[in-house]
A and B are shown apart, each in its own frame.
Chain A
Amino acid sequence: MLDIAEDSLARIEDLDPGVHAFLHVDRDHVLAQARAIDSRVKSGDREGALLGVPVAIKDNLCIAGLPTTCASRILEGYRPTYDATVVERLRAAGALLIGKTNLDEYAMGASTENSAWFPTRNPHDLKRVAGGSSGGSAAAIASGMALCALGSDTGGSVRQPASFCGLTGLRPTYGLVSRYGLVAFASSLDQVGPLALNAEDTEILLSVIAGPDARDSTCRTRPLAEYRRDLPGLRGVRIGAPPQYESDAIDRPVRQAMARLRAALEEAGAEFVRVDLPLTDYAIPTYYLVVTSEASSNLARFDGVRYGPRSEGADLADLYRRTRGRGFGDEVKRRIMLGTFALSSGYYDAYYKKALQVRQMIAREFDAAFSKVDFILGPTAPTPAFNIGEKSSDPLQLYLCDVFTAPSSLAGIPGLSVPVGFTESRLPIGAQILGPPGSDFRILRLARDVERLLGIENRPAEVSRGA
């Protein structure tokens, strides 16, 4: 495995100065793992679905002893003492953890421009964003520096960068994958999700990381094997196409790619059914109330008392103000303030409580739709990857990137982005497949069919060096 490790490290050394996918690559740690895997193989143990596979890990997942910063200055130098459950499972499967990838600070963003250190660039066009917040993970795969990666998806943070970078990325059913060791942004929506070049690899990665975990009380307890039964073929499958996912605000190349996809699926025997999701319009405000509220509480622990850089102050309140004032970036502060406001007494009922009610209505709307169809199909994002800096001055514009991904996050249902084509300038376009809770493996099966039907080659982009 040592050669694989060396190759990966060499490729990172070669390409990452232009891509900026990684925040931390610990050469010794990678080589030590490779040697351990080698001796494991020599001792006759060839088990492990990911034996020697280089996997990149988003830097909001804990690996014992390695830096975990969430791309935030407030966690600079912090090294957790424990492995996240998903990391533990990757190790057990023989994976080679090659590095920690860049993200929007605390996974708050849709472009990986909110990283405290640098934006990650899209390997398909280094002037463009890789998407976010799992942009580092997506760019690492798209540039061939990792074979697959873990990201986290709160409102689209796996699916949208997968779409921007020409990858398959799955947001699992809420509770299918343990969150233990994932630094919380919005606990009721956060899910760890796999990204890879194709659906098959994505499925292998999911099979390794998913399944019950006693350390996460929100984890589903049903054994994973039960989710893999009765995967239907394409013939007779019913696919919902909601009008809400077909607006004129969607870029023309995206709409064209969706039309081609639909034609191919119908040709193969799938039936398209109109389903209506009128509450889609309320998803963004609902989503931003829920996530900012939870974030305001989840991020309270970053106070400089137990870990991370501390800015001393005149008194306790001053210490908190300075530490958090210097440690957090603007977007994080904006969300903490929004969430603090939404949870305040006197406003709770009008904002947070109302948002929870709408959230339930959205979940019921999906339930109703899935009584008529097996899947819901639409674009993952309204546009392909945009230019770096293009939207960073207007947070609202960035929030609207989540318009197709946030509703399913609120409902807790699985969603996957699969590459369905390119723009004229060779920017990838992704389609999103949604399914009812627990349909993750059925979605992955459909994604494989889509790959086969469209004949899109899934391989790393040709990255121009040192741009």
Chain B
Amino acid sequence: MELEAVIGLEVHVQLGTRSKLFCACSAEFGGTPNSRICPICTGQPGVLPVLNREALRLAVLAGHALHCTIRTHTKFDRKNYFYPDLPKGYQISQFDQPIAYHGDLEFQMDDGTPRRAGITRAHLEEDAGKAVHPEGATISLVDLNRAGIPLIEIVGEPDLRSPAEAGAYLTALRRTLRYARVSECDMEKGSMRCDANVSIRTSGSERLGTKVEVKNMNSIRNVEHALAFEIERQKNLLLAGECIIQETRSFRDADGTTVRMRVKEQADDYRYFPDPDLPLFELDPSWIESIRRLLPESYRERRRRYEKDLALSDYDAEVLTEDREVSDWFEKVLAEGVAPKVAANWVQGEILAHLNATAAPIGTLRIGPRDLAELLSMVDAGELSQLAAKKVLKEMLSAGGRARDCAQSLDLLQMRDSSELNAIVDQVLREDPKTVADYQGGKKSAINGLIGKVMRASRGKGDPQVIKQLLAERLGG
């Protein structure tokens, strides 16, 4: 009996708005506990929610990016439950009319195999606060900075079959939403959170097995680890003739296992009902369409364009599209007229190496795409050798400044002025009559030694082609 895993992911993504979903408080991550709060997001008596339109726009944008149908009539519902981090005793969410539904996500496995998974729905909701239980203390603390931050919950179809597929799906989802500028999708900061539903069934069967929900995975790798453990655990139980219990389990980073949180004896009853404090929202189809038209090129489209139109290698196209900001930066270098292959080499070589070494985002670079383009145009014009250009770039990246200024201050500009080079050439010829004689005696390769000497004497600033030409003129023939 062949067993297969069936995996569906529920991903919460924080929308990149400046303020919270229903009040004007800052939606920034972190902050001193309870410093980003107001009567509304702390659920004081008498307050009312007012929808953040930017959050609505980003949710529609996310829906488009995931090829969803966008609802023209949408509403908010209350999900009622008691917990200290939930100030109102209910969460404002969307129950039966999610803003977006019926979409899909295409992704690629490591070996390049294409895959596709369905998106059931994506709905808008507010985040809860954070309950903290200090070690050893008999009290709990509540931080409401996060309460009311806008989220979309993206519910995926149970179309995934392995931890690797789940990882590739999440990577693609993150990249898609980052490209659309919907969210930072930073799992460590919690701006992207993932719960996984896993069940096991006989391969090819239509029926789903009993599902287990796994929580508390704070990286894509952890999701893969948790799923791998969970699939193994369930398969072993089934092979031993035991039943799977419907439960919620928590991933333990320390040993890569999952442990029981709670058993679901019956479905939770959240007593959803339409929030009477918010009106029904009617979205103008032309507004929805205008957002779709503004949807930026996806990373997949961009990657294809790099391969086809710019004739970049698979590898270059992949590396350069991984991060939207890097890719945009690269495109600005192109816009300055730099040849694609050259720009690709320098961006994915020198620039990315620098970013990796400093673990900094591209936005913090001390130079802009124009500066790199200027540097490369100097190489193109023969003013800098490749080697010198790398030195100049290093200086530019560490100290800032324009390419020409750096090249000058490092004294790396090639000697285009032949009078200076001529003087050096003459000197070398004077000091090495033996090699001159060799050359004139027919040993043409002797000229390379002379070129090397001139290069050294000019401390690398002479263009070898120019030097060769000057020498040839002097030596006649």
Measured CB to CB, the residues of A under 8 A from B are 60-62, 68, 70, 75, 78, 80-82, 84, 179-184, 186-188, 214-218, 293-294, 296-297, 299-303, 305-307, 316, 320, 340, 343-345, 348, 352
Taking A183-B45, A297-B90, A305-B142 as contacts, is the C-beta distance between A344 and B271 under 8 angstroms? Answer: yes
Instruction: Determine the main DSSP class of B at the interface with A.
Output: loop
Contact of A348 among B48, B51, B273 (CB under 8 A): B273
* B residues 86-101 in Cβ contact with A at 8 Å: 87-90
Among the listed stretches B77-85, B297-305, B396-404, which one makes contact with chain A, having 4 or more residues with CB under 8 Å of it? Answer: B77-85
State the 8 A-B residue pairs at the shortest beta-carbon distance, nearest first: A300-B89, A188-B276, A187-B276, A343-B271, A183-B45, A181-B46, A301-B43, A183-B46
Could you tell me the distance between the alpha carbons of A78 and B46 in the complex, rounded to whole angstroms? 12
Residue pair A214, B50 in contact (C-beta under 8 Å): yes
Which of A68, A81, A187, A217: most chain B Cβ within 10 A? Answer: A217
Residue pair B84, A316 in contact (C-beta under 8 Å): yes
The answer to the question of B335 belonging to the interface, with a C-beta cut-off of 8 Å to chain A, is no
Taking A217-B277, A297-B80, A345-B271 as contacts, is the C-beta distance between A303 and B46 under 8 angstroms? Answer: no
The answer to the question of B132 belonging to the interface, with a C-beta cut-off of 8 Å to chain A, is no
Residue pair B46, A300 in contact (C-beta under 8 Å): no
CB distance from A14 to the nearest CB of B (A): 32
Contact of B278 among A84, A179, A217, A340 (CB under 8 A): A217
Which chain B residues border A352 with CB–CB below 8 Å? 273
Residue pair A182, B49 in contact (C-beta under 8 Å): no
Could you tell me the distance between the alpha carbons of A60 and B46 in the complex, rounded to whole angstroms? 8
Which of A184, A296, A297: most chain B Cβ within 10 A? Answer: A297
Could you tell me the distance between the alpha carbons of A124 and B39 in the complex, rounded to whole angstroms? 40
Instruction: Determine the main DSSP class of A at the interface with B.
Output: loop
Residue pair A182, B46 in contact (C-beta under 8 Å): yes
CB distance from B35 to the nearest CB of A (A): 15
Which chain A residues border B276 with CB–CB below 8 Å? 186-188, 218, 294
Taking A343-B80, A348-B273 as contacts, is the C-beta distance between A300 and B88 under 8 angstroms? Answer: yes
Contact of A297 among B269, B273, B279 (CB under 8 A): B273
Residue pair A340, B46 in contact (C-beta under 8 Å): no
The answer to the question of B42 belonging to the interface, with a C-beta cut-off of 8 Å to chain A, is yes
Residue pair B46, A218 in contact (C-beta under 8 Å): no
Which of B43, B45, B83: most chain A Cβ within 10 A? Answer: B45
Contact of B88 among A78, A301, A307 (CB under 8 A): A301
Residue pair A82, B50 in contact (C-beta under 8 Å): no
CB distance from A189 to the nearest CB of B (A): 8
CB distance from A313 to the nearest CB of B (A): 12
Residue pair B84, A300 in contact (C-beta under 8 Å): no
Of all chain A residues, the one with the shortest Cβ separation from B144 is A306
CB distance from B78 to the nearest CB of A (A): 5
Residue pair B82, A300 in contact (C-beta under 8 Å): yes
Of all chain A residues, the one with the shortest Cβ separation from B51 is A217
Residue pair A218, B89 in contact (C-beta under 8 Å): no
Could you tell me the distance between the alpha carbons of A273 and B254 in the complex, rounded to whole angstroms? 79
21 residue pairs bridging A and B, Cβ less than 8 Å apart: A80-B45, A82-B44, A179-B48, A180-B46, A180-B47, A180-B48, A181-B47, A184-B46, A188-B276, A217-B277, A217-B278, A218-B276, A218-B277, A218-B278, A303-B84, A303-B89, A305-B84, A305-B142, A343-B271, A343-B273, A345-B271
CB distance from B153 to the nearest CB of A (A): 20
**1/0 per residue B266-277: CB within 8 Å of A?**
010101110011
Could you tell me the distance between the alpha carbons of A183 and B39 in the complex, rounded to whole angstroms? 12
Taking A316-B84, A343-B271, A352-B273 as contacts, is the C-beta distance between A70 and B45 under 8 angstroms? Answer: yes
Of all chain A residues, the one with the shortest Cβ separation from B50 is A217
Taking A218-B276, A344-B269, A345-B269 as contacts, is the C-beta distance between A307 and B80 under 8 angstroms? Answer: no
CB distance from A447 to the nearest CB of B (A): 29
Taking A217-B48, A301-B87, A301-B89 as contacts, is the C-beta distance between A306 and B271 under 8 angstroms? Answer: no
CB distance from A379 to the nearest CB of B (A): 29
**1/0 per residue B244-287: CB within 8 Å of A?**
00000000000000000000000101011100111100000000
Taking A80-B45, A217-B48, A316-B84 as contacts, is the C-beta distance between A300 and B273 under 8 angstroms? Answer: no
Which chain A residues border B80 with CB–CB below 8 Å? 296-297, 300, 343
Residue pair B46, A297 in contact (C-beta under 8 Å): no
Could you tell me the distance between the alpha carbons of A299 and B47 in the complex, rounded to whole angstroms? 13
Which chain A residues border B42 with CB–CB below 8 Å? 306
Could you tell me the distance between the alpha carbons of A182 and B46 in the complex, rounded to whole angstroms? 5
Which chain A residues border B49 with CB–CB below 8 Å? 217
Residue pair A80, B51 in contact (C-beta under 8 Å): no
Which chain A residues border B47 with CB–CB below 8 Å? 180-181
Which chain B residues border A184 with CB–CB below 8 Å? 45-46, 277
Which chain A residues border B50 with CB–CB below 8 Å? 214-217
Which chain B residues border A302 with CB–CB below 8 Å? 45
Could you tell me the distance between the alpha carbons of A201 and B271 in the complex, rounded to whole angstroms? 43
Could you tell me the distance between the alpha carbons of A9 and B295 in the complex, rounded to whole angstroms? 64
Residue pair A345, B89 in contact (C-beta under 8 Å): no
Besides A84-B46, A215-B48, A293-B273, 17 more A-B contacts (Cβ < 8 Å) are A62-B46, A179-B48, A184-B277, A188-B276, A217-B49, A218-B48, A218-B276, A218-B278, A296-B271, A299-B89, A300-B82, A301-B43, A307-B44, A316-B84, A344-B269, A348-B271, A352-B273
Which chain A residues border B269 with CB–CB below 8 Å? 344-345
Of all chain B residues, the one with the shortest Cβ separation from A186 is B276
Could you tell me the distance between the alpha carbons of A307 and B78 in the complex, rounded to whole angstroms? 22
Could you tell me the distance between the alpha carbons of A296 and B80 in the complex, rounded to whole angstroms? 9
Which chain A residues border B142 with CB–CB below 8 Å? 305-306
Residue pair B279, A217 in contact (C-beta under 8 Å): yes
Residue pair B48, A216 in contact (C-beta under 8 Å): yes
CB distance from A285 to the nearest CB of B (A): 18
Could you tell me the distance between the alpha carbons of A180 and B51 in the complex, rounded to whole angstroms? 14
Could you tell me the distance between the alpha carbons of A214 and B47 in the complex, rounded to whole angstroms? 12
Residue pair B39, A80 in contact (C-beta under 8 Å): yes
Residue pair B45, A75 in contact (C-beta under 8 Å): yes
Of all chain A residues, the one with the shortest Cβ separation from B42 is A306
Which chain B residues border A301 with CB–CB below 8 Å? 43, 45, 87-89
CB distance from B270 to the nearest CB of A (A): 8
Which chain B residues border A82 with CB–CB below 8 Å? 39, 44
Which chain A residues border B78 with CB–CB below 8 Å? 297
Taking A297-B90, A300-B88, A352-B273 as contacts, is the C-beta distance between A78 and B82 under 8 angstroms? Answer: no
Could you tell me the distance between the alpha carbons of A184 and B277 in the complex, rounded to whole angstroms? 10
CB distance from A8 to the nearest CB of B (A): 25
Could you tell me the distance between the alpha carbons of A320 and B84 in the complex, rounded to whole angstroms? 10
Could you tell me the distance between the alpha carbons of A340 and B46 in the complex, rounded to whole angstroms? 21
